[in-house]
Amino acid sequence: MTATLDAPPTEAASERRRTPPKLSLWRRLRRDRVMLLLALPGLLYFLVFHYGPLFGYVVAFKDYQPYIGFVDSPWVGLQNFVSVFADPGVWNALGNTLKITLTQLVLFFPAPIALALLLNSVLSDKVRRFVQSVVYLPHFIGWVIIVSVFQQILGGAGALPNFLESVGLPRYDMMTDPDVFPLLVTLQVIWKDAGWATIIFLAALLSIDQGLYEAAAMDGAGRWRRLWHVTLPGITPIIILLLILNLGSILSVGFEQILLQRDNVGPDAGEVLDTFVYFNGVKDGQWGAAAAVGLVKTIVGTALVLGANKVAHLFGHEGVYRGADK
């Protein structure tokens, strides 16, 4: 079982030993030709369909109008950034966004892992399969319906306030309470996507070498110790991977979900970055404002992902992508 724990460093070390130091580029390409050929279609795809449209970012520095075009729209320097970030509303929106994404990171992120572990520990195949095939369903329900279900249960004339009143407590409408908005939004996300997100962790759990459990059992490890020393290390790489990728989208929260509910609590609590740009740029035909915020989000996301990746390496994990590995 220590093999799993120490796997990445050992692997890296052995690899360094294995790779001969001075092979000419041509020889190396020849050696890797099959691998590179296999990767080629994907690479071409990314270059064409993702790097091809990057010229779109010039909009952030232009007064872009579709009828004038990318080339001929006048340059405005940093005007778009200034006009967005000079508005105090954007900082409020940024704060709300972070509140919500951090709440989600703390409460939502572990939920599918816990559920996956729970499901994995169910011995009955039938029960496990049944639960599995039910919990992923809400992923396919649109936000409009989900919000209206929550409305019906928690909303002003809904089941919960009615119940509270019937037992003599004051009515409480969670949907319109600005203080708990991040929590509410996170609850909805958990309900919608926790089941769906378990799928990937289940796959990770399934690819743990069963021999490791037997070995641990033979060493006299109990259920919890096996969980701690075999199961968790087995899925740690994927957990770290997803955590890092999640950091990349820390400035984005579900646009539609928020848009449907921001009026319940008002913009002071309910405005997020994407809705702010929508109301204060997109709707007025200010393409540049949206592009400016988009560029900032890309830069922040990239920095966070690469940074977190570095941190993961410091702790001896693979992370998403192994950089300077000399």
Partner 1 sequence: MREPVSRRGFLRLGAAAAVSAAGAAALSACGGGSAAPAAKAQGLAITLPAYTPLSGALKPDLPGNATGVPDGYFTYPKELFKAVAKPPMSGGTVSIAVQTFSPPPPGRAENPAWQEVEKRLGGTADMQPVTSDDWPTKFNTMVAGGTLPDLFTYVSTQGVNNLPAFVASQCTDLTALLGGDAVKEYPNLAAIPQVFWKQGIVGGKLYGIPVPRNMVGGLGFYRADMFARAGVTDLAQVTDLDRLFELLKEVTRPKDNQYGLVTHTGGVYGLSIFAQLFGAPNLWRLDNGKLVHQIETEEYRAAVEYVRKLREAGVIYPGSEGFDGLKRKNEFNAGRAALVYDGLPAYLGPTGYLQTSRKIDQKADPRPMIPIGPAAKAHLNNIVVSITMMKKSDEARAKELLRVADFFASPFGSEEYTLFNYGVEGADHTRDDKGNPVLTEQGGRDTTVPWKMVAAPTQPLFDSSSAEAVKIMHEAIGKMIAVGVEDPTVGSYSPANENSYESLYTMRNDRVTSIVAGRAPVSDLDRLIKDWRAKGGDKARAEFEEALKQAPKAG
Partner 2 sequence: MERPSTIGLVVKGLILLTVVLLVAYPFVGVIGTSLSTESDIARSGGFVLLPTSPSLSAYETVFNGGTVTRALLVSVLVTVIGTAASMLATIGMAYGLSRREVTGARWILLIALLTMLFNPGLIANFLLVKQVGLIDTFGALILPGLVSAFNLVVLRSFFMGLPRELLESARIDGAGDFGILVRIVLPLSKAVLAVISLFYAVGYWNAFFNALLYLNDSDKFPLPLILRTFVLQGRTLDSLAAAEAPAPVQAIQMAVLVVAIVPILLVYPFLQRYFTKGVLTGAIKG
Q: Binding residues for partner 1, per CB under 8 A?
A: 65-69, 144, 147-148, 151, 155-158, 161, 171, 173, 175-176, 178, 259-261, 263-264, 266-268, 279-287
In the complex, the smallest distance separating the C-beta of residue 268 from partner 2, rounded to whole angstroms, is 27
Bridge partners of 75? 62
Q: Of these partners, partner 1, partner 2, none, which one is at the site of residue 29 (CB under 5 to 8 Å by kind)? A: partner 2
Question: Using CB distances below 5 to 8 A depending on partner kind, what does residue 325 bind out of partner 1, partner 2, none?
Answer: partner 2
Type of residue found at 54: L
132 binds, among partner 2, partner 1, none (CB under 5 to 8 A by kind): partner 2
Nearer to partner 2, 168 or 326 (CB): 326
Least Å from the CB of residue 151 to partner 1: 5
Q: Tell me if residue 62 falls in helix, strand or coil.
A: strand
Question: Least Å distance between CB 257 and partner 1?
Answer: 12
Distance in Å, CB of 310 to partner 1, minimum: 38
Q: Is 75 helix (H, G, I), strand (E, B) or coil?
A: strand
Residue 299: CB atoms within 10 Å: 10
Nearest to 193 by CA among 126, 264, 257: 257
> Which residues, other chains included, contact 122 with Cβ-Cβ below 8 Å and sequence gap of 6+?
128, 131
- Is residue 243 within 8 Å of 14, Cβ to Cβ? no
CA distance to 23, 36, 69, 211, 325, per residue, from 27 (Å): 6, 13, 47, 39, 20
**Contact of 195 with 130, CB cutoff 8 Å:** no
As measured in angstroms, the least distance from the Cβ of 164 to partner 1 is 13
**Residue 75: phi, psi to the nearest 5?**
-70, 140
Q: Which does 308 bind (CB under 5 to 8 A by kind): partner 2, partner 1, none?
A: none
Which element (helix H / strand E) includes 161? Answer: helix 159-166
- 211 makes contact, choosing from partner 2, partner 1, none, with CB < 5 to 8 Å by partner type, with partner 2
208 binds, among partner 1, partner 2, none (CB under 5 to 8 A by kind): partner 2
* Minimum CB–partner distance for residue 178 and partner 1 (Å): 7
Q: Which is nearer to partner 1, 281 or 294 (CB)?
A: 281
